[in-house]
Structure 1
Amino acid sequence: MRFLSQKTSVAYATLLVTSFIILILQIILASYLRAYLKLPFLSVSFAFLGLSSAGLVAYYYFRDLTLPQLLFKVQALLQVFGILLIFYFCYFFQNTIQSQINPLVNLVLQDQIPTDQDVRSFFAAVYKLSFSNGLYFSLCFFVVGLIFSLIYKFFSEEAAKLYFYDLCGATLGCVLGSYLLNVVEISTIPILIALIAFIFALLISLRGEGSRLGMMSSAICALLAGGLLISNTVSDAFHVRIENEVWSEWNAYSRVTLVKKGFDEKSGEMEYKFMLDNGAGIAHVVKFKPDDPYRLKPFEEFSAATLAFLKGTPDDMLVLCAGAGNDMVESYSYSRGRTDITGIELNPLIVKKARSTEEFHLKEFFERDGVHMIVAEGRTFLEATDRKYSVVLYSWAGSPRNTYLGITANTSQFLYTREAFQRVLNILKDDGYIGIVNGNKLKLLGSFKKSFAALGVEDISAHVVLVAPRDVVEAGIRSNMLGPVDHARLLVKRTPFTAQEVRLIQSNARKMDYLLVYAPHTDGLDLHPNSLEAAKLIRTVTAAKDVRAVLTDLSNRQLADYRPISDDKPFLDNYYHLPSLLSIGFWRDYFAGNSQLAFSHHLLHFYNFAFVLVLILAGAFMLGATLLIKRREVRVRRDLPWLYFFSCLGIAFMFVEISFLYQFILYLGNPIYSFSVILAGVLFSLGLGSLASDRLCGSRRLNLRTIAILCAGILGAGYVYIPWVITRTLGMGLAWRILLAFVIILPTGFILGMMFPQGIKLVGRINRNLLPLAWGLNGYLSVIGSALSIYLAPIVGFSGLSLIGAALYVTLVLVPLDMPGEG
């Protein structure tokens, strides 16, 4: 027993360490996918693709191993894992990133609207870059998955404790992964992970659990990894540079790069931009001139800041998505220092670098009286502040990629929901208004309708003004507003606009060569005929009794989504409309070669559709091949219920997990923080549930059917209480929100954590050789669930994903899971 206990402790330690390093690896992959594709949660798909494939391979080739053979293979697999990461760092990462990144950046630096061909080339490069790196990481996860499969198979009776150590290691990996993104170069982290793998393989040998050859190879590999780690720490030899780069750094929010835009002929100076995630976002830089602070004049040309001055100089203003302070510098100059300006920027690295670059003089500007640059998440600030503002300015936000791939949920999108607008209306002074630059104005008007309804205002047609560039109006402003790049600028006032205010807005807009598109009190005003056409549509939306019905009807006619957005469906830039695929008109235009919004937008989703389809077909093929080859070993009545059990667990849990991750983006203010904090909390609570499952199920207090009912019940309750808690505590400090997030998900994770280990334990008693197949099938359905959730979220909402998971858990009650002896 003592011998077995020692060997079991090695298994515990192995799972703890390997789970720890692969979760760090998964966070790196999530950061890459967020930077290049804006879909960080696809990292879950790539991870489970590798892990589940390993389960099937283990089922095929590793049958009855002795303990020494098991430990030898674990040691060898750890070395292979480390070598794969070394190769990735030294060759694959450098070549794939460098070959794709500069063409992407050039598109951004051109400062022009890309053509359809530019967009398609852009996304082809992005997907190639993201999937090549994702698939390589899947290979790394495959190697680690072999370790998991072998250990769970050999020690199946200890499944609950193994699962606990597995999840504890994953929890630590989540926490440390986010920390590392903020303190070291991202290219250093894979080497650090490889070094840990080599050292642990060496420790197994030193304990007498491996071969002498394994000991020597582990030591050599550890020295190599250590040398590379030191080399990359003291130099930037492995830094992947982009064209016109001044410097570049990563943090948990994004990759931030300062690039030279070119010389400005008017000022004779070099212009700069902060570029986020290699072009996914832009923060323009306006240098502050201490000797000439009021050099910029309003209405010489359009800028986001001019929206705050269209009806006069405000006493105070709030700038959301302030970036490097561009709008703040302009507003300070426009008002000649008379306006009190508060700017809110999420990414601390942008503000830090803007302050520290002496050439910009922004440190001095941010320290001036009446200027307040605050690093905070916008919604959190809105919920916490009790100050009233004359103007709330929504500056440029979002990502060019979102315009075409709107199924992402950037943090900035939560500023445009009906819940956010309701809060903004509450912090406006009685005569205050909101200025919004980007985003589809029809969706925003639908959301504002919902927000004003809470104030008792049903018809908001007198509260709205829209202006747009003259050339856009002349080309057809109505069609522009129905497209993915809406050039109309929106003003929404807490109280109705007066006729005098409308005339002043029109006068100031014309100075920038902007025309009035829609406003109340337009009798006697000179309006362009195209504005009159657009005004009819706007008036229909703003005066509608049922705005959702009106926008749904418009969506069905235009084959694109214009419905209002909420915190549960915050997809501002999403035009993906599922009924379009069922429309004859859509496919008629497709085969006729007609380029329209629905087709251009949906085409880019076909990349992801293809990815999901390939995963489904691959899983079906491998499962079918496995069952065909091993058909003599698989007993239908005995084994198929358990295969369904693990399949259902995989897809149901993934829907629940992705639902949590999405819902807490808003709460924690960052997709990567949501990924690491929530995943850590989920994994830790799963581990506690796993640890308690032996006692609760062993005493016959619970069985799998009862646990399935409890899972469905608590998920149903979470559908109600999680949004309620998030809404009412959003204004609290980050530390308190992290603590509350753990408390919220702890009971759910605890109950869900009982299912998997008890299933492993029971199957191990029936047919131990079935375990790797069950593991692999569980993983493949997790891959499919994580990928499908991206498309289901815009349809059912984030919280709706957890309801689908609850329904799947209910189906487990109908499966004969408690008959291990029958067959």
Structure 2
Amino acid sequence: MRFLSQKTSVAYATLLVTSFIILILQIILASYLRAYLKLPFLSVSFAFLGLSSAGLVAYYYFRDLTLKQLLFKVQALLQVFGILLIFYFCYFFQNTIQSQINPLVNLVLQDQIPTDQDVRSFFAAVYKLSFSNGLYFSLCFFVVGLIFSLIYKFFSEEAAKLYFYDLCGATLGCVLGSYLLNVVEISTIPILIALIAFIFALLINLRGEGGRLGVMSSAICALLAGGLLLSNTVSDAFHVRIENEVWSEWNAYSRVTLVKKGFDEKSGEMEYKFMLDNGAGIAHVVKFKPDDPYRLKPFEEFSAATLAFLKGTPDDMLVLCAGAGNDMVESYSYSRGRTDITGIELNPLIVKKARSTEEFHLKEFFERDGVHMIVAEGRTFLEATDRKYSVVLYSWAGSPRNTYLGITANTSQFLYTREAFLRVLNILKDDGYIGIVNGNKLKLLGSFKKSFAALGVDDISAHVVLVAPRDIVEAGIRSNMLAPVDNARLLVKRTPFTAQEVRLIQSNAGKMDYLLVYAPHTDGLDLHSNSLEAAKLIRTVTAARDVRAVLTDLSNRQLADYRPISDDKPFLDNYYHLPSLLSIGFWKDYFAGNSQLAFSHHLLHFYNFAFVLVLILAGALMLGATLLIKRREVRIRRDLPWLYFFSCLGLAFMFVEISFLYQFILYLGNPIYSFSVILAGVLFSLGLGSLASDKLCGSRRLNLRTIAILCAGILVAGYVYIPWVITRTLGMGLAWRILLAFVIILPTGFILGMMFPQGIKLVGRINRNLLPLAWGLNGYLSVIGSALSIYLAPIVGFSGLSLIGAALYVTLVLIPLGMPEEG
């Protein structure tokens, strides 16, 4: 209580606590957006939308306040924030999520292929769900944003220390938020946040700022939140169930749900599948039969595991994206236990539940000799292992939402880049090969071309075999290969396929009613005429000297993106091709209502694009209205450069932050870990820079223009050294990678952290009433930056976003910033 008795200490404590709780809230929102929309970093947009709106409102309505008035408003706003969270989880969450989820998962449960109308309805519901929840969270951030605006305005001379405590609280929130996702039910966390807000409001009221009514209201709210927390912990009262659910749990990776598929007619047993993020991904369950371990025979019907046996029984194999061990059980049966099988699965919840469900007998299977189920991120395992395999099988991976949305934060996409393929080729035995089920094969072949080129092989046409179901080939395999749902199966061998191997593959594939689409040594083989047509396209890609030019030309003609993918642009399922918008043909199809690949992808991106446009227009209108209404108070020559300064800071910093977050998904193996760890590191280093800025700038060693040049310089340096460090240390343990990530971003964050507090201090001396407006514009441009990055990343790459940020910092050197003594 003595700590809260000092004027500035109250401000520091308030910012520390509020930053702590809203960063936990932002991580929860990121988890929801990842689960339902596959775009977790849009949580940044919604957060800054609320925070920046609060800055503009504070500029309009809150002018000169006394300390007592300030603290009264702070405690009241904290209570409102907590009430909003409790209302959300008692009513809003239940009504929005529950009403939308069951319709969304029906197709997944029934293993149905969605029609175009299903896809559009699906995404309309997903966007409605995500944006309605995101906007509600923005309201919560708005309330907290009012607290920030009022405190920064009242204590503008303490901006550097305030910013430090602000960022320290945010750092703690990032760290604790990701931890809580793994240890408690996700619906419990916001109630816990509300409880913290009520308790802190009670502490302020006990100082006498809110009177008896304030003490009573905050105490009652705290008791209510405590009761709800206990109720949800004991009875899981706020858990949202979906149809046929047996079990469900969240962790930092996803929401994992075990559901019943129905009775299998052959066995008469109930079948199960694991569903990730309410249908975003599927992991089928094949039960192990200890009394009949070899009951499954190869080539009776197609499964991903059959790709590993098309040219004989391998001595050993590696299964990536192993899920619940489906392919491992089948491969063990196909080989009659002779193949040594290693499976890699990222999500520990799937493996844990698969092991613990006695009906599946998978615990016994995973403990058999020659069977190794490893919980690890795929790329990290590939970089760390020195073992060589006969077959590396890419099992089913990705998400139905990836197929239609494209730009996602799934870690599995980093297994399909040219860098990943190069590593896989290096861990293959001389006669080994790779089998891939899903993903567009033209994109993959372009990436393989780049990988083989690093090994000195320019023409890979003899290293590739493709097979596809007979009905797909007869319907037109070439057009199928240009579609997002590509039914061709790809084999890529380290050494050229022999004629004998091609004949064996054709024979075994034929047993499953699969036909050769492309292979070397096909003279004398009976090939379908449609396969011959597709083979010309594949031959052009695999033998091209400049494969990127070939696929770029194809992209321009098909109005969709087929270019090779890399770690910097790992968008396997993205077909969004910006030049298509400039094509007359695209717009003819659009207005004619033709359902084609480009139309479907661009239509779904329009949801995000419309969101960005609305934000830009809203920001422009609010700024214009503010300058018009307050024209007597705003001096254009003095104030407009400062408004640009804070707007540019918001936009530039957001490009840098999103660049870091995306680049470190691969490095840390999880988008939520990247979000929490990298954001914590960025915020902590920003705080250190803020704390040091008073001393460095106060001694005249630095000014804002010098700092802006330093910011641009270190971002350009990071463009070079960050990818270099990530590539060479990816195989290290997670703890070391987290430590290295902190070290990598520390100098950048330290320098960037000096700009904002020094700007706040100088503007406070020139025109204190301008501070909330500057805060609001900074936030609005941050919203726009986070949303625009989704479109810019496929064009410039993740690292390229930081270069855009560097260019924006350079512009700050050119604007005429008025200093206090000039006002």
Q: Shorter-chain TM-score: what band?
A: over 0.9
Per-residue deviation, 1:418: 0.2
Per-residue deviation, 1:738: 0.2
Pairing of 1:375-394 with structure 2 (within 5 A): 375-394=375-394
Q: Is the 8 A contact 1:467 1:518 kept in 2?
A: yes
Q: Is the 8 A contact 2:45 2:784 kept in 1?
A: yes
Measured against aligned partners, the alpha-carbon deviations of 1:469-518 in whole angstroms (never above 9, x if no partner) come to: 00000000000000110000000000000000000000000000000000
The runs of 5 or more residues in structure 1 that have no matched partner are none
CA distance in 1 between partners of 2:216 and 2:10 (Å): 20
Measured against aligned partners, the alpha-carbon deviations of 1:380-416 in whole angstroms (never above 9, x if no partner) come to: 0000000000000000000000001001131000000
Measured against aligned partners, the alpha-carbon deviations of 1:429-485 in whole angstroms (never above 9, x if no partner) come to: 000000000000000000000000011000000000000000000000000000110
Aligned to 1:282: 282
Bigger Cα displacement from structure 2, 335-344 vs 210-219:
210-219
Q: Is the 8 A contact 1:638 1:820 kept in 2?
A: no
Measured against aligned partners, the alpha-carbon deviations of 1:116-135 in whole angstroms (never above 9, x if no partner) come to: 00000000000011001000
Aligned to 2:165: 165
Q: Is the 8 A contact 1:194 1:225 kept in 2?
A: yes
Measured against aligned partners, the alpha-carbon deviations of 1:274-318 in whole angstroms (never above 9, x if no partner) come to: 000000000000000000000000000000000000000000000
Per-residue deviation, 1:3: 11
Aligned to 1:791: 791
CA distance in 1 between partners of 2:489 and 2:112 (Å): 18
CA distance in 2 between partners of 1:3 and 1:108 (Å): 55
Measured against aligned partners, the alpha-carbon deviations of 1:55-109 in whole angstroms (never above 9, x if no partner) come to: 0000000000000000000000000000000100100011100000000110211
Q: Is the 8 A contact 1:288 1:360 kept in 2?
A: yes
- Structure 1 residues 668, 4: CA separation in 2 closer, same or farther (over 3 Å shift)? closer
- Structure 1 residues 769, 2: CA separation in 2 closer, same or farther (over 3 Å shift)? farther
Q: Is the 8 A contact 1:354 1:362 kept in 2?
A: yes
CA distance in 2 between partners of 1:239 and 1:348 (Å): 21
Per-residue deviation, 1:4: 11
Q: Is the 8 A contact 2:300 2:511 kept in 1?
A: yes
CA distance in 2 between partners of 1:409 and 1:150 (Å): 36
Pairing of 1:273-422 with structure 2 (within 5 A): 273-422=273-422
Percent same amino acid at aligned positions?
Answer: 97
Per-residue deviation, 1:594: 1.7
Per-residue deviation, 1:236: 2.2
CA distance in 1 between partners of 2:409 and 2:566 (Å): 11
CA distance in 2 between partners of 1:704 and 1:424 (Å): 48
Measured against aligned partners, the alpha-carbon deviations of 1:774-807 in whole angstroms (never above 9, x if no partner) come to: 0000000000000000110011000000000000
Measured against aligned partners, the alpha-carbon deviations of 1:327-353 in whole angstroms (never above 9, x if no partner) come to: 000000000000000000000000000
Measured against aligned partners, the alpha-carbon deviations of 1:762-785 in whole angstroms (never above 9, x if no partner) come to: 000000000000000000000000
Per-residue deviation, 1:622: 1.0
Bigger Cα displacement from structure 2, 812-821 vs 389-398:
812-821
CA distance in 1 between partners of 2:640 and 2:700 (Å): 24
CA distance in 1 between partners of 2:139 and 2:475 (Å): 51
Bigger Cα displacement from structure 2, 655-664 vs 404-413:
404-413
Secondary structure in structure 1 of the residue aligned to 2:661: helix
Instruction: Spell out structure 1 runs of 4+ moving beyond 4 A.
Output: 1-5
CA distance in 1 between partners of 2:589 and 2:9 (Å): 63
Per-residue deviation, 1:589: 1.3
Q: Is the 8 A contact 2:766 2:819 kept in 1?
A: no
Secondary structure in structure 1 of the residue aligned to 2:700: coil
Q: Is the 8 A contact 2:5 2:207 kept in 1?
A: no
CA distance in 2 between partners of 1:70 and 1:819 (Å): 28
Secondary structure in structure 2 of the residue aligned to 1:279: coil
The runs of 5 or more residues in structure 2 that have no matched partner are none
CA distance in 1 between partners of 2:673 and 2:352 (Å): 20
CA distance in 2 between partners of 1:821 and 1:532 (Å): 78
Aligned to 1:704: 704
CA distance in 1 between partners of 2:212 and 2:697 (Å): 43
The two structures have a TM-score, normalised by structure 1, of 0.99
Bigger Cα displacement from structure 2, 229-238 vs 322-331:
229-238
Per-residue deviation, 1:239: 1.1
CA distance in 1 between partners of 2:686 and 2:42 (Å): 21
Bigger Cα displacement from structure 2, 101-110 vs 666-675:
101-110
CA distance in 2 between partners of 1:621 and 1:251 (Å): 41
Q: Is the 8 A contact 1:704 1:818 kept in 2?
A: no
Secondary structure in structure 1 of the residue aligned to 2:126: helix
CA distance in 1 between partners of 2:130 and 2:657 (Å): 22
Measured against aligned partners, the alpha-carbon deviations of 1:527-548 in whole angstroms (never above 9, x if no partner) come to: 0000000000000000000000
Aligned pair count? Answer: 823
Per-residue deviation, 1:110: 2.1
CA distance in 1 between partners of 2:403 and 2:604 (Å): 11
CA distance in 2 between partners of 1:411 and 1:455 (Å): 26
Asked whether 1:139 is paired with 2:135, we answer: no
Aligned to 1:470: 470
Aligned to 2:438: 438
Q: Is the 8 A contact 2:4 2:13 kept in 1?
A: no
Q: Is the 8 A contact 1:246 1:258 kept in 2?
A: yes
Q: Is the 8 A contact 1:45 1:782 kept in 2?
A: yes
Q: Is the 8 A contact 2:322 2:395 kept in 1?
A: yes
CA distance in 1 between partners of 2:631 and 2:2 (Å): 39
Per-residue deviation, 1:596: 1.2
CA distance in 2 between partners of 1:25 and 1:595 (Å): 39
CA distance in 2 between partners of 1:816 and 1:119 (Å): 51
CA distance in 1 between partners of 2:5 and 2:187 (Å): 39
Per-residue deviation, 1:211: 2.0
Secondary structure in structure 2 of the residue aligned to 1:216: helix
Q: Is the 8 A contact 2:167 2:683 kept in 1?
A: yes
Secondary structure in structure 2 of the residue aligned to 1:258: strand
CA distance in 2 between partners of 1:355 and 1:292 (Å): 19
CA distance in 1 between partners of 2:252 and 2:693 (Å): 35
- Structure 1 residues 157, 82: CA separation in 2 closer, same or farther (over 3 Å shift)? same
CA distance in 1 between partners of 2:600 and 2:36 (Å): 20
Per-residue deviation, 1:817: 2.2
CA distance in 2 between partners of 1:232 and 1:110 (Å): 31
Bigger Cα displacement from structure 2, 347-356 vs 810-819:
810-819
CA distance in 1 between partners of 2:595 and 2:283 (Å): 31
Secondary structure in structure 2 of the residue aligned to 1:186: coil
Measured against aligned partners, the alpha-carbon deviations of 1:713-733 in whole angstroms (never above 9, x if no partner) come to: 000000000000000000000
Measured against aligned partners, the alpha-carbon deviations of 1:615-645 in whole angstroms (never above 9, x if no partner) come to: 1111111111111110110000100000000
Per-residue deviation, 1:231: 0.3
CA distance in 2 between partners of 1:808 and 1:755 (Å): 13
- Structure 1 residues 17, 503: CA separation in 2 closer, same or farther (over 3 Å shift)? same
Pairing of 1:538-617 with structure 2 (within 5 A): 538-617=538-617
Secondary structure in structure 2 of the residue aligned to 1:821: helix
Measured against aligned partners, the alpha-carbon deviations of 1:36-65 in whole angstroms (never above 9, x if no partner) come to: 000000000000000000000000000000
Secondary structure in structure 2 of the residue aligned to 1:369: coil
Q: Is the 8 A contact 1:304 1:437 kept in 2?
A: yes
Per-residue deviation, 1:819: 2.9
Bigger Cα displacement from structure 2, 214-223 vs 591-600:
591-600
Per-residue deviation, 1:673: 0.2
Aligned to 2:31: 31
Measured against aligned partners, the alpha-carbon deviations of 1:680-734 in whole angstroms (never above 9, x if no partner) come to: 0000000000000000000000000000000000000000000000000000000
Q: Is the 8 A contact 1:705 1:817 kept in 2?
A: no
Secondary structure in structure 2 of the residue aligned to 1:25: helix
CA distance in 2 between partners of 1:408 and 1:772 (Å): 34
CA distance in 2 between partners of 1:506 and 1:821 (Å): 83
Q: Is the 8 A contact 2:638 2:818 kept in 1?
A: no
Secondary structure in structure 1 of the residue aligned to 2:568: coil
CA distance in 2 between partners of 1:560 and 1:409 (Å): 20
Per-residue deviation, 1:600: 1.3
CA distance in 1 between partners of 2:761 and 2:262 (Å): 65
